[in-house]
Amino acid sequence: MGTLRIIAAAYAIALLGAASLNYIPGLTDDQGRAFGIFALDIYDDSLHVASAAWAAIAAWLSSRVARSFLLYFGILYFGDGLLGLITGSGYLDLGIINYGIQDLPFGFKILANLPHLALGGFAAFSAIAFGKQARA
């Protein structure tokens, strides 16, 4: 199994972990925020499960499909993180539609959007850096 497929499989596991955060006792506070930061809801959980399925299928099929997943996933999630950083709401979970622009402290916006920025950025970087494997 090539590097791209391993990375895509790791994303499937990480995204399933993200979807499970609300359901692990002790990880959420009394307001339902994971780690006191993320207020995950059914939209977020659905997004993470669907993304995990996409990653798992891509990893299973081929390096070329895994590269496509990492590139498109990376662009989508990084863009969502950037929008969240600017407006306080992302688009993947329909937050920008449901909640609009939110007046939140910038430090909070960084913490809340760092997972999407990091996951998206690393996925896109991986697709580019290891892209030759998909053509081999």
Cα 131 to Cα 68: distance, rounded to the nearest angstrom: 9
Burial class, 41, CB count within 10 angstroms (exposed 0-12 / middle 13-18 / buried 19+): middle
- Number of other CB atoms surrounding residue 20 within 10 Å: 15
Cα 37 to Cα 74: distance, rounded to the nearest angstrom: 22
Domain boundaries, the chain: 3-135
Residues in the chain, total: 136
CB 89 within 8 A of CB 66: no
CB 56 within 8 A of CB 12: yes
Given this model, what pLDDT does residue 36 score?
63
Q: Is the pLDDT of residue 136 over 60?
A: no
Q: Is the pLDDT of residue 38 over 70?
A: no
> Which residues face 34 on adjacent strands?
28, 38
At a CB cut-off of 8 Å and minimum separation 6, what does 15 contact?
A: 48, 49, 51, 52, 55
Task: Read off the pLDDT of each residue in 47-66 and give the average, rounded to a whole number.
Answer: 96
CB 80 within 8 A of CB 96: no
Q: What is the DSSP-derived secondary structure letter of residue 28?
A: B
Give tens-digit pLDDT for 72-92. 999 999 999 999 999 999 999
Task: Read off the pLDDT of each residue in 18-44 and give the average, rounded to a whole number.
Answer: 72
